[in-house]
Amino acid sequence: MQSHFEHHEFDVKNGIVNSKTPRHSLISARFKQSFAYYVLRYRIPESLSQIIASLTDNVDALVSHYGEESRVDFQKVIYKIRKLKHHLEHDSQLQQFTGTEPDKEVWNNFISNLEEGQNTFFSTCFLYAECYIFRSLISFLQNTQTLKTFDYFADKKQKSLISFLNTIEIVIFGIRTATQPNDDVLRLLLRLNLWGNQCDILADTEKYTVRKKGAFQHLREYEKNIIIDNSNSIINCLKTADHSKPILIDFISDNAGYELVVDFILAHYLLEAKMVDKVRFHLKAVPWFVSDVTHTDFLWTLQQLKKQSGRCTQDYARLWYQFLNDGKFEVITADYFWTTPYEFYRMRDIRPDLYKLLSEAHMIIIKGDCNYRKLIGDFHWDASEPFITCLRGFQPANICSLRIIKTEIICGLNPIKNEYLTKIDKDWMTSGEYGTIQFMEKNYCGCPDPKEEM
């Protein structure tokens, strides 16, 4: 363990300020009283150590799967992860990528445009630093001969899904007859989908066990923890869609496992209730932020659900396969934009084709905390600032954001609610106990009503 002197020496050497992130500034680990500092100083180095240990301890088993020629590649990857960890622990500058990454040019342009003094792990934006670390981990694999398809986190993602299979069966049984448009059912499924974001691979499975409590008791217990709720606007937007043309819904997916399954459940209901004609899933091109869903995870999940003994789970898995075959479910070719550090408001310039694709949708359902960070930026907004302000022009379609709050950014929150939450728990924004259901109409501009100004 590091001594108090070593901690102080690190802070002094790297210009760490013992304060919170200033208002209207990028979130940065330069400020010691921020969650960003804790994550980059302690959590991620520990995670990198765990990856190193796991690869080292299991190398023989991994080599038996990937072939003897992979042994040298694993050794090279372990060395590079150690080097990355060293650079992080010494607040080094972000280095340009030199391998064969498909998105190398995009990343290198981004890194080269970081301002001097804001291009190290602790001085740059928290989101940028985290994205760089995870992109580096995948880069190490992509630049080997034998490990291009290896996923550091696949085993954890798969075990997480398996641990929730009983819960999945009970939930599906509970909603199996819901096929008609109904405000109360849709409101409940939005909540089911929201709280599914708690169930990443770090989740306490017992907390979400529903057999004793009933399929939706957990949702009722957490109702008071939804601190922004635009469900009525979302429901109205879906009900008033213009069906003279196909109605598309896009999911910007987050976690694999249980959360992906409740994405399927919500998408299934919207199709069966004839509220939409097609649901498109946007997944990550590479393994990302430990538990994010890739195309491999998507297909593996369906395969596992189809093999389960629970009849409801099997039946729904077959239906979801049929939706894929019929084009009612569509997996969009993974775009590397989702694994760049760029915030969504920059999409129109960086990836205009992706922005145009999203513009075809009636609604974009944006899942999870990391996607929320990219949606409004890792920026210290005032909690009460309007959602429309923080989107900074990103309005390709109607937007629905479903997010469990795990980092220190938020907007659109009632100031009284913010004051109350801060009073009862100063760490409420990183507890994972609160959620938001936010909506923004595509054509809403946030401009004052001229009639009100007269």
**Are 130 and 231 members of one domain?**
no
**β-pair partners for 228:** 436
Contact 306, 314 (CB under 8 A): yes
Which pLDDT value is given to residue 201? 64
435-440 sheet: strands from edge to edge = 226-229, 435-440, 398-404, 363-367, 248-252, 278-282, 329-332
| Per-residue pLDDT, 203 | 55
Residues 125 and 249 in one domain: no
Mean pLDDT of 262-279: 97
Share of the chain above pLDDT 90, in %: 87
Residue 99 domain boundaries = 4-150
68 and 176 share one domain? no
Cβ-proximal residues to 198 (8 Å cutoff; 6+ apart), any chain: 208, 404, 432
On whether the CB atoms of residues 366 and 399 are closer than 8 A, the answer is yes
Q: Does residue 208 sit in the same domain as residue 118?
A: no
- Per-residue pLDDT tens over the stretch 285-315: 999 999 999 999 999 999 999 999 878 999 9
Confidence band for 444, pLDDT divided at 50, 70 and 90 = confident
Residues 6+ apart with CB under 8 A from 294: 151, 256, 283, 284, 285, 286, 287, 288, 334
Total structural domains within the chain = 2
Query: ∠ CA(153), CA(197), CA(250), 5° rounding?
Result: 95
- Kindly state whether residues 119 and 181 are assigned to the same domain: no
The Cα 110–Cα 268 span in angstroms is: 38
Confidence band of 178 (pLDDT split at 50, 70, 90)? confident
**117 and 163 together in one domain:** no
What is the per-residue pLDDT for 310?
Answer: 78
Whether residue 215 is predicted with pLDDT greater than 80 in this model: the reply is no
pLDDT band at 451 (very low <50, low <70, confident <90, very high): very low
Q: Give the span between the Cα atoms of 248 and 359, in whole angstroms.
A: 10
Contact between residue 66 and residue 154 where contact means Cβ atoms under 8 Å apart: no
Distance (Å, rounded) from C-alpha 232 to C-alpha 136? Answer: 41
Last residue of a domain, one of 150, 165, 187: 150
Q: Is it the case that residue 233 has pLDDT exceeding 80? A: yes
Question: pLDDT value at position 218?
Answer: 81
Q: What is the CATH number of the domain that holds 271?
A: 3.40.50.10880
What is the average pLDDT across 40-46? 97
pLDDT-wise least confident of 103-112, 157-166, 212-221, 415-424: 212-221
- pLDDT above 90: residue 97: yes
Please tell me whether residues 275 and 245 are part of one structural domain: yes
Query: How far is Cα 264 from Cα 454, in angstroms, rounded to an integer?
Result: 48
**Which residues, 6 or more positions from 409, have their beta carbon under 8 angstroms from its beta carbon?**
27, 372, 373, 376, 377, 378, 379, 380, 381, 429
Residue at which a domain ends, from 123, 150, 177: 150
Is there a single domain that holds both residue 180 and residue 146?
no
Q: Which amino acid is at 323?
A: F
Q: Are residues 134 and 172 in the same domain?
A: no
The answer to whether residues 164 and 144 belong to one domain is: no
> Quick one: pLDDT at residue 450?
46
Same domain for 161 and 139: no
Q: Which of 135, 150, 165 is the last residue of a domain?
A: 150
Flag whether pLDDT at 3 surpasses 60: no
In this predicted structure, the answer to whether residue 79 has a pLDDT above a threshold of 90 is yes
Residue percentage of the chain with pLDDT more than 70? 94
For residue 176, pLDDT over 50 is answered with yes
Q: How confident is the model at residue 117 (pLDDT cuts 50, 70, 90)?
A: very high
Taking residues 428-438, report their average pLDDT: 96
Q: Is the pLDDT of residue 206 over 90?
A: no
Answer yes or no: do 53 and 184 share one domain: no
Q: Is 48 left (phi over 0), alpha (psi -120 to 50) or beta?
A: alpha
Task: Read off the pLDDT of each residue in 253-267 and give the average, rounded to a whole number.
Answer: 97
pLDDT, position 346: 98
Q: How confident is the model at residue 452 (pLDDT cuts 50, 70, 90)?
A: very low
Distance of CA 194 to the CA centre of its chain: 12
Sorting pLDDT into bands at 50, 70 and 90, what band is 199? confident
Please choose, from the candidates 145, 149, 140, 139, the residue with its C-alpha nearest in 3D space to the C-alpha of residue 102. 139
Give the integer Cα–Cα distance in Å for 21 and 34: 7
